[in-house]
């Protein structure tokens, strides 16, 4: 297993030193039946719970981070996930699963959780959700009272029942049970086909249509199984939340028949923009980042990079083809992915590579996404040919940003910069890229 770090706005040491192995700490009414070791793996290698649920580095997983949800001053806070009897996670295992499968906000009854990526996590198996709960119940209790939410109009959205059919993609697809009857066995035989890697479930929760992947049927059984496992890891986590961007959103968030639908024409094509937290500017040497196009036919990362290149960049947490290497843009959790088992990293690569090669991308916007905008205090912080803008009278979009790189198109410039007279210029304060990406 690779060694890494958990990102939470500030860097937190990986793992859970002092975590109890008990699945039922004193003071907690619920009983955990899942595998805490599996839960720990999911939390420290795939699902970056600590990033949102840690506001104080000395109190990991204790919540309290405020997230604005609109421009009218409304917000929500991340919950305390530790088993502290007074301020921590008080949900039973069944309630915890219900919260992640439906978005039920047990703190604000009748409302849906906001910001929390339950629309992704809901597709995980019940066993994995139980494992997450078991891991959280084994954390050291941390006292941290979280303030009340102020959701405003967004509080009208209620929980969404978990369907028996995957319904967020181009085609509806039945969800297979965890252990389905063996279709190759004799009629009436009690044998079952286990799905230990969740490859069958992963194949079911693909947002794209298999009808647009005619070559997939010609892939070897080993490739198809790896693809399914990779799909489970990618789609039950939150990769699409950052790497799918259509008009500033990764999903249709308007209540109705297409609520939570993932736009196939933008799926994993990147283009979302993120302003780095001020505390990370000097650490990452970046001020703004843009999610990368992953599967586009011409501009997608996985169509032009080998597995070894992908693995080495995850391990280095940097784009090593830049000179000098450029740290991956915030909030990409490469520090977490460094802890993935080798086979899981291979399966993620296989999934992305097959989508890049086999899917009919005709209707997809194959975006030429941009590198992170470099943070600077002087010209020496910039690449050759760039200058550092530090004019305090200018708008924040210009301050402490490397500019004037020679360019032919906007794609040659850094996030949200434009190619003007063959020189990269800062975005205007009104640029839609700053808020909605490309």
The pLDDT tens digits of the residues spanning 174-217 come to 888 755 444 444 445 444 557 878 999 999 999 999 999 999 99
The answer to whether residues 232 and 313 belong to one domain is yes
Structure tokens at 130: 């139980």
> Is residue 394's pLDDT more than 90?
no
Confidence tier at 12 by pLDDT (50, 70, 90): very low
Percent of the chain with pLDDT over 90: 76
Residue 325's pLDDT is what?
Answer: 82
- Does residue 180 lie within any of the structural domains? no
- Does residue 107 lie within any of the structural domains? yes
Backbone angles phi, psi at 49, to 5 degrees: -60, -40
Q: What is the 8-class DSSP label of residue 83?
A: -
Q: What is the number of structural domains in the chain?
A: 3
3-class DSSP assignment, residue 75: strand
The answer to whether residues 424 and 307 belong to one domain is no
Pick from 346, 385, 359: nearest CA to 230: 346
The answer to whether residues 51 and 146 belong to one domain is yes
- pTM beyond cutoff 0.85: yes
- Does residue 77 lie within any of the structural domains? yes
The mean pLDDT value of the chain amounts to 88
The answer to whether residues 356 and 416 belong to one domain is no
The answer to whether residues 383 and 359 belong to one domain is no
Distances (CA, A) of 282 to 313, 327, 387: 21, 12, 17
Confidence tier at 243 by pLDDT (50, 70, 90): very high
Q: How far apart are CA 199 and CA 393, in angstroms?
A: 55
Q: How far apart are CA 104 and CA 51, in angstroms?
A: 21
Element at 281 (helix H, strand E)? helix 278-284
Q: How far apart are CA 438 and CA 435, in angstroms?
A: 9
**Domain hosting residue 418, numbered range:** 378-436
Last residue of a domain, one of 123, 150, 177: 150
């Amino acid at each position: 297993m690779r060694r890494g770090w958990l990102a939470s706005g500030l860097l937190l040491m990986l793992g859970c030193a002092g975590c109890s192995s008990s699945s039922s700490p004193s003071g907690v009414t619920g009983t955990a039946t899942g595998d805490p070791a599996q839960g720990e793996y999911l939390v420290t290698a795939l699902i970056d719970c600590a990033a949102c649920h840690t506001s104080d580095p000395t109190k990991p997983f204790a919540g309290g981070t405020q997230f604005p949800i609109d421009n009218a001053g409304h917000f929500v806070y991340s919950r305390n996930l530790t088993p502290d009897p007074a301020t921590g996670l008080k949900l039973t295992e069944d309630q915890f699963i219900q919260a992640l499968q439906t978005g039920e906000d047990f703190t604000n009854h009748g409302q849906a959780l906001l910001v929390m990526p339950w629309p992704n996590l809901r597709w995980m198996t019940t066993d994995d959700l139980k494992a997450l709960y078991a891991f959280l119940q084994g954390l050291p209790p941390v006292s941290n009272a979280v303030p009340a939410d102020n959701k405003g109009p967004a509080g009208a959205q209620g929980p969404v029942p978990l369907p028996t059919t995957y319904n967020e993609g181009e085609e509806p697809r039945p969800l297979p049970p965890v252990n389905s009857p063996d279709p190759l066995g004799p009629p009436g035989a009690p044998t079952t086909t286990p799905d230990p890697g969740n490859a069958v479930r992963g194949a079911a929760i693909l947002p794209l249509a298999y009808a647009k992947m005619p070559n997939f049927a010609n892939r070897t059984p080993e490739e198809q199984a790896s693809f399914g496992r990779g799909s489970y890891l990618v789609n039950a986590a939150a990769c699409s939340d950052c790497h799918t961007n259509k008009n500033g959103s990764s999903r249709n968030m308007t209540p109705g028949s297409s609520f939570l639908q993932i736009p196939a024409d933008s799926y994993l094509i990147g283009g979302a923009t993120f302003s780095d937290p001020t505390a990370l500017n000097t650490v990452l040497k970046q001020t703004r980042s843009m999610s990368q196009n992953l599967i586009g036919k011409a501009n997608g990362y996985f169509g032009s990079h080998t597995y070894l290149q992908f693995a080495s960049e995850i391990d280095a947490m940097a784009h090593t083809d830049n000179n000098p290497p450029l740290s991956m843009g915030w909030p990409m959790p490469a520090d977490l992915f460094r802890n993935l088992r080798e086979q899981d990293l291979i399966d993620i690569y296989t999934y992305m590579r097959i989508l890049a090669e086999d899917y009919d991308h005709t209707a997809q916007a194959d975006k030429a996404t941009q590198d992170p905008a470099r943070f600077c205090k002087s010209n020496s912080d910039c690449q050759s040919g760039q200058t550092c803008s530090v004019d305090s009278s200018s708008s924040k979009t210009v301050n402490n940003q490397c500019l004037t790189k020679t360019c032919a198109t906007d794609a040659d410039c850094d996030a949200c910069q434009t190619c003007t007279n063959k020189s990269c210029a800062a975005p205007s304060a009104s640029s839609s890229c700053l808020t909605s990406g490309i």
